[in-house]
Amino acid sequence: MMRVSPRPDHGARERILAAAVRRIASEGIDEVRIARIAMDAGVSASLVHYHFETRDALLAEALRYSYERAGDVRIESGALPETSHAERLRSMIDQCLPTNPSLHEDWVLWVELWLRAVRHPEMRPVAEELYGRMHDWFAREIRAGIEAGEFADCDPDEVADHTLALIDGFGIRNLIEDEAVPLERARRAVADALARDLGLAAVRAARAE
- The helices-and-strands tally (H runs, E runs) of the chain is 11, 0
Q: What is the CATH number of domain 12-208?
A: 1.10.357.10
CB 36 within 8 A of CB 121: no
pLDDT digits (tens, 9 = 90+) for 2-58: 444 555 566 899 999 989 988 888 888 778 899 999 999 999 999 998 999 888 888
Backbone angles phi, psi at 49, to 5 degrees: -70, -30
What is the reported pLDDT for 3?
45
pLDDT digits (tens, 9 = 90+) for 188-208: 999 999 999 999 865 554 444
- Locate the domains of the chain by residue range: 12-208
Asked whether the CA dihedral 103, 109, 111, 114 is positive or negative, the reply is negative
Closest Cα to residue 191, out of 103, 109, 114, 86? Answer: 86
Closest Cα to residue 113, out of 102, 123, 101? Answer: 123
**Helix, strand, coil percentages in the chain from 3-state DSSP, rounded to 5:** 75, 0, 25
Distance CA 59, CA 54 (A): 9
pTM to 2 decimal places: 0.78
